[in-house]
Amino acid sequence: MKTILKPILLLFAVITTNGQNKLPYYEIPKQAEEFTAGTVASRMIDGLGFRYYWATEGLVEQDLSFKPSKEARSMLETLDHILVLSIMTLSAVEGTDIKFPKKGAFTFVEMRRLTLENFKKTSDILKSTNDLSKFTMKLKRGNGEVEEYPFWNQLNGPIADAIWHVGQVVSFRRTAGNSLPKGPSFLTGKVRK
């Protein structure tokens, strides 16, 4: 059974990977012409999106279930957490309530697409503003109280946390024996052919 399943999973990974070239962040978009608070924050999200794209490119089922230890999250659980962080950041810049998906609501392919689209929407909104103070994050606690946090907390909270976890995904996949695809330059944000 395993010998039949492995080629099918590999074929699925190739098909879904090739179909995902239309996703945001295959390369980082052209930089802004001027430095503003918004364009710098936007570029930070673009760097995160580019790293996430390549950290998740070519993952297969075996990778997604990988855990470095019993106590650690699996790669798929880590990717689910990054999705939640992308939702938190997008909700803050859109000024909408945070709506977290139910655990297991998305396949990996859907989760990847949604996370990348969330990063892109966030970047686009940030790029068009100079006033980051208007982007407050509103967290509803279990007791119904809503706590508000300024954009500063986005930087050291969900955005930095997402960068941290993308690094974990890279480490997990290398440990699982599936290193990053060749080509992306994380300095230039371009893919070498």
> How far apart are alpha carbons 80 and 74 in whole angstroms?
10
In eight-state DSSP terms, residue 35 is -
- Rounded CA-CA distance 191/129 in Å is 29
- Distance from chain centroid for Cα 190: 18
pLDDT in tens, 99-118: 888 888 899 999 999 999 99
Quick check: 191 pLDDT over 60? Answer: yes
- The one-letter amino acid code at 178 reads N
Q: Which amino acid is at 120?
A: K
Note whether 83 and 106 are within 8 A (CB): yes
63 vs 43: CA distance, rounded Å: 29
Q: Cα(13)–Cα(112) distance, rounded to whole angstroms?
A: 13
Distance, CA of 14 to CA of 8 (rounded, Å)? 10
Of all residues in the chain, what percent carry a pLDDT higher than 90? 78
pLDDT digits 0-9 by tens, 71-107: 999 999 999 999 999 999 999 999 998 888 888 889 9
Domain boundaries, the chain: 37-191
- Model pLDDT for residues 124-159, shown as the tens digit of each residue: 999 999 899 999 999 888 888 889 999 999 999 999
- Helix and strand numbers (H, E) in the chain are 7, 4
The H or E element spanning position 171 is helix 160-175
What distance in Å separates the CA atoms of residue 27 and residue 24, rounded to the nearest whole number?
A: 8
CB atoms within 10 A of CB 135: 22
> pLDDT band at residue 185, thresholds of 50, 70 and 90?
very high
pLDDT computed for residue 143 by the predictor: 87
First to last CA, the chain: 37
Buried-state track 68-82, b at ≥16 Cβ within 10 A, e below 16: eeeeebebbebbbeb
The SS3 call for residue 185 is strand
Q: Which CATH number applies to 37-191?
A: 1.20.120.450
Distance of CA 148 to the CA centre of its chain: 23
